Amino acid sequence: MKITRAVLESYLQCKYKGHLKLAKKQGIRSDYELLLVESRNLIRLAAADKLVARHKEDDILRGLAMTLATLMDGVPLFLNASVEDKELSVRFDALQKEAGPSPLGNFHYIPVLFHETERPSRLQKDLLEVCGLIIGDLQGRYPGSGVLIHGRGCNVRRIKLNANVENAQRTMQEIREIHGQDMPPRLMLNSHCQICEFRQHCHAEATAKDDLSLLRRMSEKEIKKYNKRGIFTITQLSCTFRPRKRSKQSKQKSQPHHPALQALAIRDKKIYVLSPPELPSCSTRIYFDIEGDPERRFAYLGGVIIERNGTEERHSFWVDTQAEEPQLFQQFLDVMDVLEDYCLYSYGSYESAFLRRMIKESGRHELDEKILTRSVNVLSIIYSHVYFPTYSNSLKDIGRYLGFRWTEAEASGIQSIVWRRKWEATISAAFKETLTTYNMEDCAALRKVTEFLYTICPKQPSLNQSQTWTHEGHQVSRVEEIGPQWSRREWGRAKFAVSDFEFVNERAYFDYQRDRVFIRTSKSLKRSMLGPRGPTPNTYLPVRCTQTGRGSLVIGGPEGRCYDDSQASQSSLAT
């Protein structure tokens, strides 16, 4: 298989995905990925129409394979052009003529990329740089910029390309090595996995290897750092955790996250509590969750579960369009206005960011003290203090571990975006009902996790409470209970997990004993251990008295005295 644009884009998203694409592997596309493909096809048509409207029909050529001779014709716009050789078969959405000297003449071409994203990222720039390298090799000049047409509004953005082409060249070299030598890169799970067609395949492979990349909080840089220390699996990482006493002078309430302790929780299938957190107390608990489209920066659905005086209330807030978003905020405020002495629980910072944005846009800054100061981010508490035996701290992973189940098996934040887009396309009540149910179930899952935290982290723990206990079938342990991670806790005979190690150790001890005894009984070796003699330092003695400067001196050793043959007088002492 040749290197195509799909391979290039896949490799920039994930090196292992690029390898699977080159190997002609087929995965199961998620609903979100299918949605992206559909959106890209629509945007490609709209973007092409926008470009065509700026040119005369005679100034446009479509679907041609680019050669040096074709480029030298100086056509202003090539649509759906391609560059092919023995290894490459890369299609360009468009090539646009640009002023500037090159071997073609007083002009050259820059790549144009159509993309469905509303918020461009590093991925689009990297893809433009690689495309610029390919067309630059053909025309003899690397373009200084590229054009990105993106989003539903077909927004046009000119992106400056890096004048140093080393990164793009390195990317192409790595892809060619994978393609030519069939050497797969190392599997490294990342944020793209949740929407990738190979997510199940890669997760199964990583689980079989007990790979470090299963831990969602670990970056590729951290993983490589552990690899240099010879740590490649979660089990190996778990053996590196050592509990440390916290400094009494430390003023920080939060603590850093310890990947080794997370790995230990997974290995032991146990929940570890690292210094119980300070959980707020209140008479009313409100569990709050927002659903939105991050690409559009738009929240369309909110839900709350209110617990007070042994009763429960549920409220959902829905808006149809982005222009109605302030109405969602007002519906939420109408519910909050009648409440007092409450804590507002959310999972993550998305809800707090939504409230801050709405308060700023509405100009009602008095709500900062009324609402935001009472907000509690449950995720931040778990991140610093409680380690569940899960690969991530997502609400779905921890909720499922505690026994909570969603109606939809594939329920997730990504999937909710798909349901919302389908509702916008069809205005179907079924999709709206699915979203409302999912949002309320998120609130219920948040309540379950929060109540579990209050149970295992009481404000005043019992004096008779053990360091390890079981709650709702889950084993919980304080980090203080973790003992030494080795078998020899004192001097004595070591216990080995493998009998062959004991055999080797016995022979090694014989050699050790023989060598040490031989050194103690050998006089020649004993003398050699003393080391070479150093030179005797020269000692310079005075020939006259250092005080009077007269007479000759006689040194008599440690008990010696200085004698002066001069006559006794008032200024000298007679002996």
Q: What is the pLDDT of residue 553?
A: 64
CB neighbours (10 Å) of residue 220? 13
Q: What is the pLDDT of residue 463?
A: 46
**What's the chain's length in residues?**
575
Cα separations (Å) of 193 from 32, 399, 415, 541? Answer: 12, 20, 14, 85
CB-CB contact of 117 with 150 (8 Å): yes
Q: What is the pLDDT of residue 508?
A: 79
CB-CB contact of 241 with 231 (8 Å): no
CATH code reported for the domain at 284-459+466-479:
3.30.420.10
**Which residue's entry shows tokens 């070796």?**
525
Q: What is the pLDDT of residue 159?
A: 95
CATH of range 5-181; options 1.10.10, 3.90.320, 3.40.50, 3.30.70 = 3.90.320
CB-CB contact of 195 with 30 (8 Å): yes
- What is the 3-class SS of 141-160, one letter each residue? CCCCEEEEEECCCCEEEEEE
CB-CB contact of 48 with 114 (8 Å): yes
DSSP 8-state symbol, 535: P
Sheet holding 298-308, edge to edge: 311-318, 298-308, 284-293, 342-346, 375-377
User: 242-249, long-range: CB within 8 Å, 24+ apart, which pairs?
Assistant: 242/485, 243/479, 243/480, 243/482, 246/275
Return per-residue pLDDT of the chain as tens, 575 residues: 899 999 999 999 999 999 999 999 999 999 999 999 999 999 999 999 999 999 999 999 999 999 999 999 999 999 999 999 888 999 999 999 999 999 999 999 999 999 999 999 999 999 999 999 999 999 999 999 999 999 999 999 999 998 788 999 999 999 999 887 777 899 999 999 999 999 999 999 999 999 999 999 899 999 999 999 999 999 999 999 988 766 655 555 668 899 999 999 999 999 999 888 889 999 999 999 999 999 889 999 999 999 998 899 999 999 999 999 999 999 999 999 999 899 999 999 999 999 999 999 988 888 888 899 999 999 999 999 999 999 999 999 999 999 999 999 999 999 999 999 999 999 999 999 999 999 999 999 999 999 999 998 876 555 455 567 787 788 999 887 676 555 555 566 777 777 888 888 888 766 666 666 554 566 776 777 676 677 777 777 777 777 777 666 665 555 555 555 555 555 554 44
**518 class by beta-carbon count within 10 Å (0-12 exposed, 13-18 middle, 19+ buried):** exposed
C-alpha to C-alpha distance for 112 and 157, rounded to whole angstroms: 10
Which segments of 161-276 are extended strands (E)?
271-273
Provide CATH 3.30.420.10 ranges for the chain. 284-459+466-479
DSSP 8-state symbol, 233: B
Q: What is the pLDDT of residue 519?
A: 46
Cα separations (Å) of 54 from 50, 76, 104, 146, 259? Answer: 7, 11, 23, 17, 54
The torsion region of residue 558 among left (phi > 0), alpha (psi -120 to 50) and beta comes to alpha
Provide CATH 3.90.320 ranges for the chain. 5-181
Tokens of 410: 């594939």
User: 180-187, long-range: CB within 8 Å, 24+ apart, which pairs?
Assistant: 182/23, 184/16, 184/19, 185/15, 185/16, 185/18, 185/19, 186/15, 186/16, 187/16, 187/211, 187/213
Q: What is the pLDDT of residue 539?
A: 73
Looking at residue 333, its amino acid is L
Provide the pairing of β-strand 271-273 with 155-160: unpaired
**Which residue's entry shows tokens 């073609």?**
104
C-alpha to C-alpha distance for 81 and 79, rounded to whole angstroms: 5
SS3 264: helix
